Amino acid sequence: MDRIDEIAGLIARHVPADGFHTAPIARLTLARSSTVTIPMPNVYRPQLCFVAQGQKEVSLGDQLFTYSPGRYGVVTYDLPVIGHVVEATPANPYLCLFIEFDPVMLADLAHRIPPPVGVIAPIGKTVTDADPPLLDAVLRLMRLLDDPAALPVLAPLAEQEILYRLLAGPDGGRMRSVTSSQGRVAQVGRAIAWIGKNFRQRFSIETLAAEVGMSPSSLHEHFRAVTAMTPLQFQKQLRLQDARSLMLVEDIDVASAALRVGYESPSQFSREYRRLFGEPPARDVARLRTLPIMAGVA
């Protein structure tokens, strides 16, 4: 049995039902889906996402990322994405693991590992083929699920090894930049965090640029390089995702949801909602209510 198959087998054994499942290891989440799913919005936190079986697609702005067995994605900022499982059956379900980054552990390792040579593109999400050392590290962490007594001692070491492999690999420069409080990428990170807290409020690029200490033109350029979106597109996607969740969870009407997330015009909200999700709000929400909860797994 190769490494990827063994990781898939461990996920399948510890996650017998479809859904997202918190593991007994801190910051580790396991996911399973026995069917393909519809595209659903989500906000990816800084994390590693590794697919062991099946396939999924995730879009960030105008960029599309494809995960297949043995491929992993690194997210370095809170990013609004749209993802769905595109290959899964009951016999061969989609199986995936997420490891949320521990910022303290990441920063400590970044200070001890030599920085990469050359210019690193700052984009906040990538997808890469896992090399054997990273696969070994992930497998060691997953095997601990069968050894509960060793978890408190060995899980932090396995997690540290995974972060080391990522920092020493092709995504190391991107991950390292997140731990820094200096430079353009750090300023973009603060802009992303500011929008995340204030996306329901109207703001201008000039206001945001002043908030993070950049010129409007520089903010626009570097923000798009990281997120594949402009700041206002980023805000719009967060607003629309939030409104969709409000209508589903709180069962409020379209106009109320539009106002809650900061739209002054319900008609503009409906147009932009349809452009992102493919259907008018009321029809989209009615359809989602008929689907199983696993529709959002990605």
Do residue 142 and residue 257 come from a single domain? no
Using an 8 Å Cβ cutoff, are 257 and 246 in contact?
yes
Do residue 247 and residue 142 come from a single domain? no
Using an 8 Å Cβ cutoff, are 58 and 126 in contact?
no
Using an 8 Å Cβ cutoff, are 67 and 58 in contact?
yes
User: Residue-wise pLDDT tens for the chain (298 aa)?
Assistant: 699 999 999 999 999 999 999 999 989 999 999 999 888 888 888 899 999 999 999 988 888 899 999 999 998 888 888 899 999 999 999 999 999 998 888 888 988 888 766 655 556 778 899 999 999 999 999 999 999 999 999 999 999 999 999 998 888 877 877 676 666 777 888 899 899 999 999 999 999 999 999 999 999 988 888 888 899 999 999 999 999 989 988 889 999 999 999 999 999 999 999 998 889 999 999 888 887 654 456 6
Do residue 70 and residue 133 come from a single domain? yes
- Name the domain count of the chain: 3
Do residue 197 and residue 269 come from a single domain? no
Q: Strands, DSSP E only, in the chain?
A: 19-22, 28-33, 40-44, 47-53, 55-60, 63-67, 71-75, 79-87, 94-100, 125-129
**Could you tell me the CATH number of the domain that includes residue 251?**
1.10.10.60
pLDDT of residue 294: 44
**For the chain, how far is it from start to end, CA to CA, in angstroms?**
26
Residue appearing with tokens 């699920």: 145
Final residue in a domain of this structure, among 147, 178, 209: 178
CA distances from 61 to 224, 229, 264 (A): 9, 5, 24
Do residue 169 and residue 211 come from a single domain? no
3-state secondary structure of 211: helix
Do residue 142 and residue 9 come from a single domain? yes
Using an 8 Å Cβ cutoff, are 192 and 200 in contact?
no
Do residue 121 and residue 158 come from a single domain? yes
Do residue 191 and residue 145 come from a single domain? no
Using an 8 Å Cβ cutoff, are 174 and 76 in contact?
yes
Structure tokens, 46: 């800084």
Do residue 247 and residue 222 come from a single domain? no
Do residue 209 and residue 88 come from a single domain? no
pTM over 0.85, yes/no: no
**Could you tell me the CATH number of the domain that includes residue 96?**
2.60.120.10
Do residue 202 and residue 267 come from a single domain? no
3-state secondary structure of 18: coil
Do residue 78 and residue 210 come from a single domain? no
Print the domain residue range for 253.
233-296
